Amino acid sequence: MSAERLRTPEVEALCDAFATLTDAEDVYAFLQDVCTIREIQDMAQRLAVARMLAAGAHYSAIQEATGASSTTISRVSRSLNYGADGYARVIGAIGTLGGEGAAE
């Protein structure tokens, strides 16, 4: 998706809303209100895949550990390699925080 199509006033407001949240509990509460359980689980799975890919894990190990399809793993890999660096920024920040559930 091109950045121009994504950057609507509504999406900008959503990003601004996330930026106001200061702790994990606030983010969790907002996610529960804004997303379905499945959407939250899917995003969490994609982040787990990204962390494992960044750590050098192979697709088969990622599939086994996360239950993600090869299509999902491929899409996340493409985002890591050619995307907007969102995963890299988050993975870097989580690493500095010693984030739980880090890929082994």
pTM: 0.84
Flag whether 103 is in a domain. no
Per-residue pLDDT of the chain (104 residues; tens, 9 = 90+): 567 788 999 999 999 999 999 999 999 999 999 999 999 999 999 999 999 999 999 999 999 999 999 999 999 999 999 999 999 999 999 876 554 444 44
Report the CATH number that the domain containing residue 29 is assigned in CATH.
1.10.1270.10
Return the number of other C-beta atoms located less than 10 Å from residue 103's C-beta: 18
**Neighbour-count burial for 2-36, b at 16+ CB within 10 Å, e otherwise:** eeeeeeeeeeeeeeeeeeeeeeeeeeeeebeeeee
> What does the block give as tokens for 56?
């050098």
**Neighbour-count burial for 51-89, b at 16+ CB within 10 Å, e otherwise:** bbbbeebeeeebbeebebeeebbeebbebbeeeeeebee
Flag whether 49 is in a domain. yes
Flag whether 102 is in a domain. no
Flag whether 75 is in a domain. yes
If one counts the domains in the chain, the total is 1
Quote the domain boundaries for residue 41.
Answer: 3-97
